[in-house]
Amino acid sequence: MVRGVVSFVLLACSQGCLEIKEGVFGDLDTADDAVLVDTTLPPDSRQTDSQEADSQETDAVEPDAATVAGDTAEPVDTVSAADTITPDTVGADLCPLDIDCSLIDTPCSVGACNAATGICELVARPDLLPCDDGDPCTLGDVCAQGACRGSEVWTLLHGEAVPTAQGWLETTNQTSPIDVTADGEAVELNTLGPSSVATGTMVLYSFEVPESAFDTHVLEWTMHVLAANPHNPSDAGVALMPAYTPMPVNGFGTSSQRSQMIYFDEDAIGWASGTGSASLDTTDGFHTYRLAVDDTGASVSVDGTEVLTRPSVELNGIIAFGDQTNDGPGVTGLPPDGHIRVSLIQMVPRPDVGCGQ
Ligand SMILES: [Ca+2]
Ligand SMILES: [Ca+2]
Residue 184's pLDDT is 98
**Closest C-alpha to 328, from 232, 256, 238, 260:** 232
Nearest ligand to the C-alpha atom of residue 231: 2
Residue 244's pLDDT is 96
User: What's the CA-to-centroid distance between 35 and ligand 2, angstroms?
Assistant: 60
Nearest ligand to the C-alpha atom of residue 107: 1
Residue 328's pLDDT is 86
User: What's the CA-to-centroid distance between 125 and ligand 1, angstroms?
Assistant: 18
CB-CB contact of 116 with 122 (8 Å): no
Q: What is the pLDDT along the chain (357 residues), one digit of tens a residue?
A: 333 332 233 333 433 333 333 333 333 333 333 333 233 333 333 333 333 333 333 333 333 333 333 333 333 333 333 333 333 445 567 887 778 999 999 999 999 999 888 899 999 999 999 999 999 999 999 999 999 999 999 999 999 999 999 999 999 988 888 999 999 999 999 999 875 555 788 999 999 999 999 999 999 999 999 999 999 999 999 999 999 998 765 689 999 999 999 999 999 999 999 999 999 999 999 999 999 999 999 999 999 999 999 999 999 999 999 999 989 887 778 899 999 999 999 999 999 999 998
CB-CB contact of 321 with 345 (8 Å): yes
Residue 186's pLDDT is 98
Q: How many helices (H) and strands (E) does the chain have?
A: 7, 19
pTM of the predicted model, to two decimals? 0.71
C-alpha distances out from residue 222 to 159, 286, 324, Å: 11, 6, 18
User: What's the CA-to-centroid distance between 238 and ligand 2, angstroms?
Assistant: 8
User: What's the CA-to-centroid distance between 299 and ligand 2, angstroms?
Assistant: 25
Residue 197's pLDDT is 53
In this structure, the number of other CB atoms found within 10 A of the CB of residue 52 comes to 8
User: What's the CA-to-centroid distance between 148 and ligand 1, angstroms?
Assistant: 9
Residue 198's pLDDT is 59
CB-CB contact of 180 with 188 (8 Å): yes
With b meaning 16 or more CB within 10 Å and e meaning fewer, what string describes 294-329? eeeebbbbbeeeebbebeebebbebbbbbbbbbbee
Nearest ligand to the C-alpha atom of residue 141: 1
Ordered structural domains, the chain, with CATH: 2-124 (no CATH), 154-353 (2.60.120.200)
User: What's the CA-to-centroid distance between 293 and ligand 2, angstroms?
Assistant: 27
The C-alpha atoms of residue 79 and residue 226 are separated, in whole angstroms, by 88
User: What's the CA-to-centroid distance between 212 and ligand 1, angstroms?
Assistant: 11
Residue 60's pLDDT is 35
Residue 332's pLDDT is 79
Nearest ligand to the C-alpha atom of residue 190: 2
User: What's the CA-to-centroid distance between 206 and ligand 2, angstroms?
Assistant: 16
User: What's the CA-to-centroid distance between 213 and ligand 1, angstroms?
Assistant: 9
User: What's the CA-to-centroid distance between 235 and ligand 2, angstroms?
Assistant: 8
Nearest ligand to the C-alpha atom of residue 130: 1
User: What's the CA-to-centroid distance between 330 and ligand 2, angstroms?
Assistant: 12
**Cα 275 to chain centroid, rounded:** 35
Residue 51's pLDDT is 39
User: What's the CA-to-centroid distance between 34 and ligand 1, angstroms?
Assistant: 25
User: What's the CA-to-centroid distance between 222 and ligand 1, angstroms?
Assistant: 24
Going by C-beta distance under 8 Å and a sequence separation of 6 or more, which residues neighbour residue 35?
A: 5, 9, 20, 103, 104, 120
Nearest ligand to the C-alpha atom of residue 324: 2
The C-alpha atoms of residue 85 and residue 240 are separated, in whole angstroms, by 72
User: What's the CA-to-centroid distance between 211 and ligand 1, angstroms?
Assistant: 13
Nearest ligand to the C-alpha atom of residue 325: 2
Nearest ligand to the C-alpha atom of residue 216: 1
